[in-house]
Amino acid sequence: MHVVLTERDFQRPVMLASLLVAVLMLVGKLTAWSITGSAAIFSDALESVIHFFATAFAGYSLWLSQQPADAEHPYGHGKVAYFSSGFEGALIAIAAISILYTAIIDLIQGPELQRLGVGLWITGGLAAVNLALGTVLVRTGKKHRSIVLQANGHHVLTDVWTSVGVLVGLGLVMLTGWLWLDPVLAILVALNILWTAFSLVRNSVHGLMEAADPQETERIRELLNEAVDKQVVEGYHQLRHRRINQEVWIEYHLLFRGGLTVDEAHDRSHRVEDALHRLFPGDKVVITAHLEPAEHDEAHQDRRPEPVDVLGPQETSTQ
């Protein structure tokens, strides 16, 4: 029997793995910090604490975003993904500020370090696990256009670079005996985490504000312009579109010359819709088309040169 795997089949086990690894990171890094007393390792551990809660919330958001539309949410629940990304960014920013405070106190008072070798081995092993997980999360998120998985994956990879920075810095402390390098390194780690937080919040705001992708806008316009040039339609206006994860919502008004029957105008509109569906393979495309006479007072054509051949040979109607 042939079994078809859905997006949930791919995303759920990946998110579950992320949550389990987050627990491992939390326990491992707190252990390394308790052994060494390093501010740099503490910064890495605190970031993992935040990551654990962020991953749990991301898992819930992923589940909610995949729920079907209902009476109260006729457009679905996909926007929770952008809220999740912003929430994760805010938590990361809180962690960075806490790290900065601790590191500055250590820099003023002077750090007390011990058993750095054991702490480095633990941190290095955990970084390798995180590298594998982060790569899988980002690739799966891009493949399935899941902002939740991508945000979580980038967070994990940021954690990897944080750990690498800690390893290099503490290695220099062991070689040189300069203990002040430990809190300075923690400050640098915190600043890097703040940048990641800013990026996540920025992407979240763009999604919640429904900022249109310029490249997708151009692709849609090229296809509609081709429909005009092939005289499938007389023109179009009031084009709007938005993306929510794997869903693309497109709205426009199509203009038709007078004398065309309703059936023929409807068939031509469907030709345009079918071409738009082919323009976004793998996505759920929802199209709302309003048909108008070209002589309508508010109608105006939005045309561009050099049409791209997407619709195929001109036909007067389709089945």
Cβ atoms of 167 and 123 within 8 Å: the answer is yes
Q: What are phi and psi of 68, to 5 degrees?
A: -70, 165
Residue 44 and residue 170 share a domain: yes
Most confident of the ranges 60-69, 115-124, 149-158, 281-290: 281-290
Residue 46 and residue 147 share a domain: yes
Provide the domain limits for residue 241: 214-293
* 87 pLDDT more than 60: yes
* 104 pLDDT more than 60: yes
- Residue 146 counted as domain residue: yes
* 133 pLDDT more than 50: yes
- Residue 113 counted as domain residue: yes
Residue 282 and residue 238 share a domain: yes
Average pLDDT of span 102-112: 74
- Residue 119 counted as domain residue: yes
> Which comes out higher in pLDDT, residue 63 or 2?
63
- Residue 33 counted as domain residue: yes
The confidence band for 102, taking pLDDT boundaries of 50, 70 and 90, is confident
- The confidence score (pLDDT) of residue 298 equals 58
Q: What is the pLDDT of residues 181-222, one digit of tens each?
A: 777 877 887 787 788 778 778 877 776 666 677 888 899 999
- Which of 208, 233, 261 finishes a domain? 208
- The confidence score (pLDDT) of residue 24 equals 85
**What's the total number of domains in the chain?**
2
Residue 221 and residue 173 share a domain: no
DSSP three-state, residue 287: strand
The confidence band for 93, taking pLDDT boundaries of 50, 70 and 90, is confident
- The confidence score (pLDDT) of residue 146 equals 72
- Residue 302 counted as domain residue: no
Q: What is the dihedral sign for C-alpha 257, 260, 264, 266?
A: positive
Q: What is the pLDDT of residues 294-306, one digit of tens each?
A: 876 555 544 444 4
Of the listed ranges 2-6, 133-137, 197-201, the least confidently predicted one is 2-6
Q: Give dist(CA 31, CA 19) in Å, integer.
A: 19
Taking only Cα atoms into account, the Rg of the chain, rounded to an integer number of angstroms, comes to 26
Cα distances (Å, whole numbers) of residue 276 to 205, 217, 225, 249: 27, 12, 12, 11
Average pLDDT of span 15-24: 78
- The confidence score (pLDDT) of residue 4 equals 36
CATH of the domain at 218: 3.30.70.1350
- The confidence score (pLDDT) of residue 77 equals 67
Average pLDDT of span 98-108: 78
pTM above 0.85, yes or no: no
Cβ atoms of 148 and 141 within 8 Å: the answer is yes
* 132 pLDDT more than 70: yes
Identity of the residue numbered 255 = L
Q: Give dist(CA 147, CA 18) in Å, integer.
A: 15
Residue 267 and residue 194 share a domain: no
- The confidence score (pLDDT) of residue 158 equals 75
- The confidence score (pLDDT) of residue 210 equals 66
* 7 pLDDT more than 60: no
Q: What is the pLDDT of residues 42-85, one digit of tens each?
A: 777 777 777 677 777 767 776 776 677 777 776 666 667 677 77
Q: Give dist(CA 15, CA 165) in Å, integer.
A: 26
Q: What is the pLDDT of residues 304-314, one digit of tens each?
A: 444 444 455 54
Residue 137 and residue 219 share a domain: no
* 318 pLDDT more than 50: no
Q: Give dist(CA 302, CA 193) in Å, integer.
A: 45
Residue 85 and residue 227 share a domain: no
Cβ atoms of 235 and 228 within 8 Å: the answer is yes
CATH of the domain at 48: 1.20.1510.10
> Which comes out higher in pLDDT, residue 226 or 203?
226
- Residue 221 counted as domain residue: yes
Cβ atoms of 289 and 273 within 8 Å: the answer is yes
Q: What is the pLDDT of residues 235-288, one digit of tens each?
A: 898 898 887 767 788 999 999 987 888 899 899 999 999 999 998 887 788 898
Residue 47 and residue 70 share a domain: yes
- The confidence score (pLDDT) of residue 112 equals 65
